[in-house]
Amino acid sequence: MRATWALKGTQALVPITGRNAKRVLFGAINLGSARRVVLIRTRAGQADAQAFLRALRRRYRGAGWLWQLTDRASAHTAPQTQALAHRLRIRFVWLPRQAPELSPMDQLWRELKRLIAANRQAASIDALAAEAADWVLRLTPQQVRRKAGMMSKRFWLRKLLQNFWRPT
């Protein structure tokens, strides 16, 4: 919840139980094509991160090594996750701690939360997760690049994108 309403002069009460239903979306953007991969899970643990790596590799089955920008969440840094990534030919490019502004996917998540999830009541948590994943996947490549900050003159990977070899 980002905001709430209350009668003037009264304090709004927002119960927080810690038992709210939860879904986690894992996602990646191909910096060259702006294609996305999204996986919905019930948790964000090591097994879930590994399931995403498998989904990513399935999506790019014929590609060589994949380079994935990622944060240092414990699910990503776990030795078993690292070993699986190596077997799947996925290399992590570690982003600095507390720097979501450097992650194009984090910028897309921020926009998704603002437009889809913030202050809205969904029929169910699964419906909300499906709507969120659908929103990410329905964006055009141009919309993805713009919303993820990849079109900015200050985008830190701009030089890489300018020299990115695209298959013909």
- Sequential pLDDT tens for the chain (168 residues): 566 677 888 887 776 766 778 899 999 999 989 999 999 999 999 999 999 999 999 999 999 999 999 999 999 999 999 999 999 999 999 998 888 889 999 999 999 999 888 877 788 999 999 999 999 999 999 999 999 999 988 888 877 766 665 554
Residue 114's SS3 state is helix
* Contacts of range 134-137, beta carbons closer than 8 Å, 24 or more positions apart: 136/25, 136/27, 136/36, 136/38, 136/108, 136/112, 137/36, 137/38
CB 36 within 8 A of CB 140: no
pTM, 2 dp? 0.84
24-162: CATH class:
alpha beta
Ranges of each domain in the chain: 24-162
Helices (H), 8-140: 46-59, 74-77, 79-87, 104-112, 125-138
